[in-house]
């Protein structure tokens, strides 16, 4: 048996990775289909398909269920999963830490605090009323947190470690403030805050879907244009810099896009943990950290997890749809533990 | 055609490292060893030349052009710094890492020439059998060879090597230094290597620069610099050079 030369082996590896990317997208398609097909009401897949293709030909109730309930939830699951997957992959890359996720730097607790402020005290920072009142407040607080972190990166001699420590300090600060509000609020408000934080796709609307899709359409091309720089960054700051990568600017750009993605996702569907952590991990195991493959696989892995969790949230107890935040954590924790035990030591540290 | 440093100043906060450091012009095709005791600023000087740090004053000229006027990308194409050995933690294969150095981050499609060039460099350093392994799985010495491979495919005008042989076994040290020497001459590039092994440096370098107390304290032929009193003072040892029977240089050091 002749051994192939290194270049040929590289070409084959690249082909295999492209197949993995295609494979995860196919798996995502299956997950989305089952998410749409399954739900309270127990219609057959054929009926659901008919309702999707020609809503006029089926009974109005089914058309409403499919188009106004199931489809927005399924699409939102995919978009939010992809947003968290991309944000997690970028966060792990810029912090050189595979245990980071989009919420590592306190963005989610800031959003929760903003939401609680709106729910309990009726304080909103943006002049929006109605359905976007809570969402806008959560978004503003999440972005303000990122802004504080930005200003911090401008300071001289700030290392990644101190940066993460400041993020953790912000996390605890907002958690304490949140507890303070919870202690003060009435029972009804408390319930609303807790439900908000659990994370739910039931709040999905076509407007929110449009905003998420627009954001992804802005962020993904930037991430794609920067993919070789980001791959270089995984080798370490100095090695990347000696290849001419403007490390500080790249980190700031990526932090901006992570903040927008994480803030939007949290504001719309609440805190959904583990997706942003586990998605990139699966991608790293399958295709490594070459961003051309790492990024799409992280996104689709995140989307698959959230789609599966969304399906499961409808299937556990007939007639009850559990908040997806509960399900992802329940699915996520054992999965994460099995990953840690099965994965080779070097890849996650 | 040369690299020149004039009036370079740099300080880490309050710790002044260089105060108006001048380095005479380093010629193409010349392998220069940068020597000096620990903490004297060899790595910092490399970072300044590579543009990873900004000097507080002074200029660095490459072929008469001030490098501070170059864009990051342009400078990185002409000057490559092989940083001091630290473990790579990226989940990337050896081939991908070297290809990344070859292609830079300009985007576009990988050509057959790029792949052939990486393949050749891996073979030259004898690590083509490792090309599918993750860099995290490699030993320290193997990682150092991968880093050197990056330098070879990068094909810069100035090659800065910070302790390129620190993790290598004896045979590899000799192999790597002869490759560096040959590449320096064949491609006519300016190579500066920071080396702690003075014997190895003496054997391969055309020229020695001694960095001590923020200045280039000695400059010249290896024997000249090693024989100078200031070198013994810098290291705090008594140095003696002796020619062995096969013409190589032996460097003896005794505590002063």
ipTM of the complex as predicted? 0.89
Is some CB atom of chain A closer than 8 A to the CB atom of B77? yes
Q: Return the residue of A nearest to B129 by Cα.
A: A6
- Tell whether the model's pLDDT for residue B186 goes beyond 80: yes
Percent of chain A predicted with pLDDT > 90:
34
Average pLDDT over residues B200-220: 92
Report yes or no on B36 lying in a domain: yes
Chain A CB within 8 Å of residue B142 CB: no
Instruction: Give the A:B interface size as CB pairs under 8 Å.
Output: 113
Q: Structural domain tally of chain B?
A: 1
User: Is residue B14 domain-resident?
Assistant: yes
Distance CA A332, CA A148 (A): 30
Q: Which residue did the predictor score with more confidence, B213 or A346?
A: B213
Domains of chain A with CATH codes: 6-348 (1.10.3470.10)
> Could you tell me if A309 and A321 are in contact, meaning their C-beta atoms sit under 8 angstroms apart?
no
Task: Mark which residues 11-30 of B lie under 8 Å from A by CB.
Answer: 13
**A247 near B CB under 8 A:** no
Question: How crowded is the C-beta side of A108, counted as CA atoms within 13 Å?
Answer: 21
Residue in this structure with the two tokens 């309930």, named with its chain if needed:
A69
- Give the model's pLDDT for residue B204: 93
Q: Is residue B246 part of a domain?
A: no
* B218-234 residue pLDDT tens: 999 988 898 888 999 99
A157 interfacial to chain B (CB closer than 8 Å): yes
Question: How far is A161 from A255, CA to CA, in rounded Å?
Answer: 15
From the list A13, A235, A347, the residue facing B97 with the nearest CB is: A235
Q: What is residue B13's predicted lDDT score, i.e. its pLDDT?
A: 80
Q: What is the pTM of this model?
A: 0.89
Distance CA A227, CA A287 (A): 14
Per-residue confidence (pLDDT) for residue B107, from 0 to 100: 66
Q: Which domain holds residue B133?
A: 2-222
In a domain, B253, yes or no: no
Tell me if B134 and A347 make a contact (CB, 8 A cut-off): yes
The pLDDT value recorded for residue A340 is 67
Within an 8 Å CB–CB cutoff, is residue A107 touching chain B? no
CATH code: domain of residue B79: 3.40.50.300
């Amino acid at each position: 048996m002749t051994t192939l030369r290194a270049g040929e082996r590289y070409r084959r590896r690249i082909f295999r990775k492209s197949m993995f990317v295609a494979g995860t997208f196919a798996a995502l398609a299956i997950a989305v289909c089952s998410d749409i097909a399954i739900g309270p009401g127990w219609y057959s897949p054929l009926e659901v398909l008919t309702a999707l293709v020609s809503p006029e030909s089926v009974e109005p109730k089914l058309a409403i269920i499919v188009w106004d309930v199931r489809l927005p939830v399924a699409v939102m699951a995919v978009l939010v999963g992809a947003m968290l997957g991309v944000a997690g992959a970028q966060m792990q890359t810029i912090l050189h830490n595979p245990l980071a996720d989009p919420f590592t730097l306190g963005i989610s607790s800031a959003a929760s605090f903003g939401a609680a402020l709106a729910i309990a005290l009726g304080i909103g920072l943006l002049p929006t009323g109605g359905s976007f009142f809570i969402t806008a407040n959560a978004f503003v607080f999440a972005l303000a947190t990122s802004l504080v972190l930005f200003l911090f990166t401008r300071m001289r001699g700030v290392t990644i470690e101190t940066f993460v420590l400041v993020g953790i300090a912000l996390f605890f600060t907002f958690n304490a403030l949140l507890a303070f509000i919870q202690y003060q609020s009435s029972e009804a408000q408390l319930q609303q805050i807790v439900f908000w934080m659990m994370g739910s796709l039931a709040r999905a609307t076509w407007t929110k879907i449009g905003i998420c899709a627009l954001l992804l359409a802005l962020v993904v091309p930037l991430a794609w244009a920067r993919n070789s720089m980001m791959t270089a960054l995984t080798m370490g700051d100095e090695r990347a810099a000696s290849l001419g990568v403007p490390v500080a600017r790249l980190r700031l750009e990526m932090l901006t896009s992570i903040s927008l993605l994480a803030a939007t996702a949290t504001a719309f569907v609440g805190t959904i943990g583990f997706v942003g952590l586990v998605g990139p991990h699966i991608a790293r195991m399958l295709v490594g950290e070459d961003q051309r493959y790492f990024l799409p696989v992280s996104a689709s892995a995140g989307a698959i997890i959230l789609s599966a969790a969304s399906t499961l949230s409808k299937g556990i107890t007939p007639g009850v749809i559990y908040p997806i935040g509960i399900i992802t954590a329940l699915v996520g924790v054992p999965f994460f533990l099995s990953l840690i035990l099965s994965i080779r030591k070097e890849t996650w540290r | 055609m040369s690299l020149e440093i004039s009036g370079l100043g740099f300080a880490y906060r309050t710790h002044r490292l260089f105060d108006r450091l001048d380095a005479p012009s380093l010629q193409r095709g010349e392998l220069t060893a940068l020597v000096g005791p620990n903490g004297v600023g060899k790595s910092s000087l490399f970072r300044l030349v590579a543009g990873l740090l900004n000097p507080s004053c002074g200029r660095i000229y490459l072929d008469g052009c001030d490098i501070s006027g170059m864009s990051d990308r342009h400078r990185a194409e002409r000057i490559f710094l092989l940083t001091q050995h630290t473990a790579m933690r990226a989940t990337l294969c050896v081939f991908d890492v070297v290809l990344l150095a070859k292609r830079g981050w300009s985007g576009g499609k990988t050509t057959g020439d790029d792949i052939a060039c990486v393949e050749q460099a891996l073979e030259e350093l004898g690590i083509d059998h490792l090309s599918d392994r993750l860099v995290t799985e490699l030993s320290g010495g193997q990682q150092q060879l991968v880093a050197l491979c990056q330098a070879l495919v990068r094909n810069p005008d100035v090659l800065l090597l910070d302790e390129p042989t620190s993790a290598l076994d004896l045979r590899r040290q000799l192999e790597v230094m002869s490759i560096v020497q040959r590449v320096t001459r064949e491609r006519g590039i300016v190579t500066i290597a920071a080396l702690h092994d003075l014997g190895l440096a003496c054997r391969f370098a055309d020229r020695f620069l001694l960095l001590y107390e923020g200045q280039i304290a000695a400059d010249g032929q290896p024997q000249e610099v090693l024989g100078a009193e200031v070198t013994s003072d810098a290291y705090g040892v008594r140095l003696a050079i002796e020619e062995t029977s096969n013409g190589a240089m032996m460097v003896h050091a005794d505590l002063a």
